[in-house]
Amino acid sequence: MTNLPQTTSNNPYPAGKGRILQHKGMMIGSLIVIFVMLLAILAPLIAPHDPYYQDLLNRLKPPVWDTRGSWDHILGTDHLGRDYLSRLIYGARISLLIGIGAAMISGIIGTFLGVMAGYFGGRVDMVVTFLITVRLSMPVVLVALAVVAIVGGSLQVVIAVLGLLLWDRFAVVMRSSTLQIRSMDYITAARAVGCSTARILMTEIMPNVVNNLIVIATLEIAHAIILEAALSFLGLGVQPPLPSWGLMVSEGKDMMLFEPWLITIPGVALFALVLSINLLGDGMRDVTAPENRN
Amino acid sequence: MAEIMIDAKSIVKDFKITKGLFLGKENLRAVDGVSLQVSQGEVLAIVGESGCGKTTLARILLGLLQPDSGSIELCGSKIDQIPRLKLAKTVQPIFQDPYSSLNPRKTIGSIITLPMRVQGEKESTEWTKRAFKTMDLVGLPSRMFNQYPNQLSGGQRQRVAIARALINKPKIVICDEPTSALDVSVQSQILNLLNDLREELNLTYVLISHNLAVVEHMATRVAVMYFGEKVEESETDKLFSNPQHNYTKTLLSSILPPDPRQRSKEN
């Protein structure tokens, strides 16, 4: 009786390796995201120049593929002679930091409110729904602009402001998916088995809403990155000389007609990062869903 | 005289229904003064049409809903004075729909062992052994331990639900339409399993059903509910041969005889 019966060594992990590798969108997205993350983490090692060093004699050098370009500055220099590639690499840090930071703050607020509203219903739900409506009636960019104008723009302020403004989608989605799962029999069974409310929320409800959470989180990371770029473009996001992609677009816009690469390069970087985060989110949803598990 | 396991006295449960904006709220009496006594080893069936309060009554007996008035004693102690974990060891449910009663994100193993985990038992080989023993008891092959519910058939899922209900050896099991979501061929298997388990583990059942064939097969006593009230209660044979209340008579006459020739003769 000592040896236990054999169980099938069926992959107990919901996201099987094969399913990840088969998902093309997710592979492309995660490769780009991992690439950008590596750039951000290893920025001091990779960047060919100091992103803050101004070389006024070498202003507005075009990138290497231009006839006037040189390998010394692969992506050229900006209007103050700073190396554009180095600024782009350091800018990845700012974008990712703001995206992930803001999505984490708003994710915690929104998930907490949404799950509470969905699970307890009644008065709790009424209060949360009211808060969501209040939040939805505020225009994000306008409020962010006003707050930053009053408090002063810095990286921390931008993260906090975006984090406190972007929780609405988390709350709405978490509320509706919790509402759906709350009425399932396995929740009643868990209560009958003697589970505490905290345990039900953590082990029965959360695993079933977490794939929605992942999708919303990636959407909101992308959303926060774009909003940061917009705020910086308007001059109220992170302050110069920090190398933010939005700020780079903003600083390059005066030269747009003569030196278009000044805004194309950070623009393409933003586009690629946001697209790949969204691809990754879609892929995560597909891979973790129980439907296609076999 | 066998020990009385469930002693419920005149239970009343109201629900508030919002009639619409500005129209205020209305009371809906789901259970209206129902009294039940179930003794050890009995199978009490509760029958009645949809919406007559059967499931509400089941939830009250499980301690998941508080009745508005009336008292319930399980094994001699009042239900609201039994601590949560002890109550879970006394009475357990089996639900109608095995597709919604198992968490799709958990393996069969972790679903079955959940009651032990909740009771605060330490994870050990003893634990797994008990899980395998219970799986064996309900006729589940142990290789399913690491599978997910969506890899199982309806009958197998219901067996998992039964295993979860029985692993901590409860005294009372409340079966809320345990077979109505299953295939006809699987229904009889599950019913026979429930019958065998009752004898083996000395269980007391409250069986909620609207399938009179199931009731006749399983129950020792039948209570008929109609609009939240218990209109009749008697031994199974007596009820089927000699129904007293008008509603029971209508209910019994709604059973179709399996032989179509006999059916056409009656009409």
Residue spans per domain, chain A: 17-50+58-288
The ipTM value here is 0.84
Residue B120: phi and psi, rounded to 5, are 80, 20
**If you average pLDDT over every residue of chain A, what do you get?**
84
* B107 closest CB neighbour out of A1, A12, A199: A12
Place of tokens 């029985």: B166
**Chain B residue whose CA is closest to A291:** B150
Residue A293 tokens, joined = 């598990």
Place of tokens 């969501």: A132
Taking chain B (267 residues) in runs of 10, the rounded mean pLDDT of each run is 80 82 78 87 87 86 87 85 87 89 88 87 80 88 87 88 89 88 84 89 88 86 87 84 82 74 61
Residue B159: phi and psi, rounded to 5, are -65, -40
The pLDDT of residue A12 is above 60: no
Pairwise CA distance, residues B162 & B165, whole Å = 5
| Residue B52: CA count within 13 A, CB half-sphere | 18
Top-level class of domain B4-91+172-266: alpha beta
Contacts of B112 in chain A (CB under 8 A): none
Question: In this structure, how many other beta carbons lie within 10 angstroms of the beta carbon of residue A137?
Answer: 7
Mind telling me how many Å the CA of A205 is from chain B's nearest CA? 9
Q: Is A185 in contact with B143 (Cβ distance < 8 A)?
A: no
Q: Of the candidates B77, B45, B60, which has an alpha carbon nearest to the alpha carbon of residue B15?
A: B60
Place of tokens 């109609």: B226
Residue A7 tokens, joined = 């169980």
Contacts of A188 in chain B (CB under 8 A): 59, 64, 93, 95, 101
Mind telling me how many Å the CA of A277 is from chain B's nearest CA? 25
Mind telling me how many Å the CA of B134 is from chain A's nearest CA? 13
Q: Where are the domains of chain B?
A: 4-91+172-266
What's the pLDDT at A294?
42
DSSP, residue by residue, B60-85: HHTTSS--SEEEEEETTEEGGGS-HH
H or E element at residue B198: helix B184-201
Pairwise CA distance, residues B69 & B33, whole Å = 8
Spatial strand order in the sheet of B43-47: B91-94, B172-176, B204-209, B43-47, B221-226, B229-235
- Residue A70 pLDDT grade (very low, low, confident, very high; cuts 50, 70, 90): confident
* Model pTM score: 0.81
What's the pLDDT at A114?
94
Interchain contact B90–A (C-beta under 8 A): no
Top-level class of domain A17-50+58-288: mainly alpha
Contact between A208 and A178 under an 8 Å Cβ cutoff? The reply is: no
Q: Is A207 in contact with B103 (Cβ distance < 8 A)?
A: yes
